Structure 1
Amino acid sequence: MQNNTNTVLGILAGTAIGGLLGILFAPEKGADTRRRIAEQAVSTRDSIAESADHLKHKVVDNLSTKKDNLENRLEDVLSDTRYKTEDIIGKLEKKLTHLKAQTKNLKKA
């Protein structure tokens, strides 16, 4: 995420510096220079919008992947818990049957 922010800032800074240097050294009339500035502004706006859109898609994809991973891990934990619960219930039922048999034998004696 930090790399993308640095890239966008680098593009903005480079565009601004390039535009200013172009204005300073341009041997053109004022109207032509203003037209070029306007074109450069539109180009910069489009570049920023494209970078922002790319960053948005990257963040959404990353969040989606993390959500899928979390859901899979949660399902694994729940499945494991169900299995262990069934195992514990089975063992408790066996123990209860054993205890009932012992109690029955004690009552006979």
Structure 2
Amino acid sequence: MKTSSAILGILGAAAAGAFIGVLFAPDKGSETRKKIKDKSKDYGDNLKSKVDGILSTISSNGKDMIEEGKAKFNQVKNDFNSVTDEAKAVKTNY
């Protein structure tokens, strides 16, 4: 989670820097607005792609963790059943 926060912070700082740079550029107002619009769209698309990648990774890892948890649960359940069966066998022998 810290890595994604750092990435978002860096992207935000880069966007702010680009925005300020465009504002102080010696262009006409309409050109400046067009540049801001274009840069905003580029940064928005870039950010969306990064977030989608992060969410995909989290989703994939979550599915793997669930499957691993199910496998471990089944293993523990089987071990418990084996111990219970052994205990019943020992009890009937005495």
Deviation at 1:72, TM superposition (A): 1.3
Letter in 2 for 1:83: S
Aligned-partner Cα distance in 2 for 1:64–1:50:
21
Deviation at 1:23, TM superposition (A): 2.2
Aligned-partner Cα distance in 2 for 1:44–1:69:
37
Aligned-partner Cα distance in 2 for 1:18–1:42:
12
The answer for unaligned runs of 5 or more in structure 1 is 96-109
Tell me the equivalent position of 1:58: 57
Greater Rg, structure 1 or structure 2?
Answer: 1
Aligned-partner Cα distance in 2 for 1:12–1:51:
13
Tell me the equivalent position of 2:87: 88
How much identity, in percent, do the aligned residues show?
A: 17
The answer to whether residue 82 in structure 2 is matched with residue 69 in structure 1 is no
Deviation at 1:27, TM superposition (A): 2.4
**TM-score, normalised on structure 1?**
0.78
Count, aligned residues: 94
Aligned-partner Cα distance in 1 for 2:67–2:90:
35
- CA RMSD, 1 decimal: 1.3
**TM-score, normalised on structure 2?**
0.89
Query: C-alpha offsets along residues 34-64 of structure 1, whole Å, 9 cap, x if unaligned?
Result: 1111101111111121121112112112211
Verify the 8 A CA contact 2:22 2:36 in the aligned structure 1: no
Tell me the equivalent position of 1:78: 77
Verify the 8 A CA contact 2:23 2:32 in the aligned structure 1: yes
Tell me the equivalent position of 2:21: 21
Letter in 2 for 1:23: L
Q: Runs ≥4 in structure 1, deviation > 6 angstroms?
A: none
